[in-house]
Every structure is written in structure tokens, then in C-alpha cells.
Amino acid sequence: EPEVTQTPSHQVTQMGQEVILRCVPISNHLYFYWYRQILGQKVEFLVSFYNNEISEKSEIFDDQFSVERPDGSNFTLKIRSTKLEDSAMYFCASSQRTSGSYGFFGPGTRLTVL
């Protein structure tokens, strides 16, 4: 069964450092998403990406965040200068269509900012 993969599974970084979280969406999917979940809190939408551009982003997704699809398979989330409050589980997801479509989630990357 096709699946979304994410690397690394756990990333530890120092405050102020840049991190790149990587995702490989399902190959025939067209819509890509990043969500985050701070420990003990609900999942929050960060950004959606379609046709090589951001289609929607939340208030959380400020100038410190960027997304890219550098090749035909990877989808990355970059945080330029990490803050303590960026510590969270980051989930990538992909779907064939928008929110009316069944989405597949990756296993998540746990980011710890020290």
C-alpha cells in the first residue's frame, strides 16, 4: 500500500539553527500539506502546496517557514531560525485533491529545539 514517508523521525537542534524536514508524498498525489502538533495540543494546519506553489497557509506559517518541492518526489519544510516554541511533531500529508479528498499522513518528525 502506498505511504507517505518522512525523514528524519526525530531531529534535535539548537535554538536559532535552520532545520529542513523532508517528506516523500504518494507518487500520484497532487496536493501536499504540513501540519504540526505541539505536545499535548491539537493538530494545526501549517501550509498546503499545489502546482509548485503555496495554495494556503495559516497564521503560524510566518517568514521563518518555507516549503519547497525541489524535485519530483520530495517535499520539504524549512524553518530558518528555530525557536523553542517550534518544538513539535510535524506531519506531512498528501492527497489527490483538496480537503474533500482522503488524505494520507506521514509518520511525523519530532522536532526538539534546545
Residues with Cβ within 8 Å of residue 20, at least 6 apart in sequence: 76, 77, 78
Q: Per CB under 8 A, which region of 12-20, 28-36, 70-78, 79-87 contacts another protein?
A: 28-36
**Helix, coil or strand: residue 85:** helix
Rounded to a whole number of angstroms, the minimum distance from the CB of residue 93 to another protein is 8
> Cα(31)–Cα(6) distance, rounded to whole angstroms?
16
Radius of gyration of the chain (CA): 13
Q: Per CB under 8 A, which region of 16-24, 32-40, 66-74, 76-84 contacts another protein?
A: 32-40
Residues that bind another protein (CB under 8 A): 31, 33, 35, 37, 42-45, 48, 50, 55-56, 58, 89, 91, 98-105, 107-108, 110
